């Protein structure tokens, strides 16, 4: 899994792993927009460049075992990686692809990843990540989910 440095175009390999209690000291609202301490009830993952401790993105997942589904509750990239002048490209995509990886690891062909989008960005998730419409929610399952794994070289 890799992210692209916008200026140089260089690809950097990334690591996605569970957030530790120690990490919460570094996770501030000013950098990651939300209060992430409220997400401790879910599984919270961090993305960083291999060999570098700095966290570049966060995602929390809720597990619906009966439905063989993971729901992305919250996701944020660090402040310097948003907008036109972001430092690295592909942080959110890699985190979403990692959610798909976890769903496949648990449920193989029945794996599903969903999220409840804000209306104004709903179509962008669908276009960029191949998510499908399910009314209030959008989701990845089957072929689009497998395609996303391939796109992000999971």
Applying CB under 8 A, the residues found at the interface with another protein are 33-34, 59, 67, 69, 72-77, 81-84, 86, 92-93, 101-102, 104-112, 114-118, 120-121, 123-125, 128, 132-137, 139, 141-144, 146, 149
- Please, what is the minimum distance in Å from the beta carbon of residue 57 to another protein? 9
Identify which of residues 24 and 139 has a Cβ nearer to another protein in the complex.
139
The Cα–Cα gap between 130 and 143 comes to: 10
Indicate the angle between helix axes 91-107 and 122-129, nearest 10 degrees: 70
- Please, what is the minimum distance in Å from the beta carbon of residue 14 to another protein? 15
SS (H, E, C) 27-91: CCHHHHCCCHHHHCCCEEEEEEECCCCCCCEEEEEEEEHHHCEEEEEEEEECHHHCCCCCCEECH
The Cα–Cα gap between 145 and 154 comes to: 11
- Please, what is the minimum distance in Å from the beta carbon of residue 62 to another protein? 11
Identify which of residues 53 and 136 has a Cβ nearer to another protein in the complex.
136
- Please, what is the minimum distance in Å from the beta carbon of residue 37 to another protein? 13
Identify which of residues 25 and 127 has a Cβ nearer to another protein in the complex.
127
């Amino acid at each position: 899994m890799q992210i692209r440095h916008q200026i140089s175009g260089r690809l950097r390999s990334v690591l996605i792993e569970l957030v530790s209690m120690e990490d919460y000291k570094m996770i501030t609202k000013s950098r990651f927009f939300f209060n992430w301490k409220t997400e401790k009830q879910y599984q919270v993952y961090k993305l960083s460049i291999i060999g570098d401790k700095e966290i570049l993105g966060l995602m929390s997942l809720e597990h619906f075992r009966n439905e063989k589904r993971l729901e992305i509750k919250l996701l944020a990239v660090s402040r310097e990686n948003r907008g036109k002048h972001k430092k690295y490209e592909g942080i959110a995509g890699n985190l979403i692809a990692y959610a798909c990886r976890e769903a496949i690891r648990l449920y193989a062909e029945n794996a599903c990843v969903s999220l409840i989008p804000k209306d104004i960005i709903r179509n962008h998730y669908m276009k960029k990540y191949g998510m499908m419409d399910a009314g209030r929610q959008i989701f990845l399952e089957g072929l689009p989910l497998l395609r996303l794994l391939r796109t992000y070289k999971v």
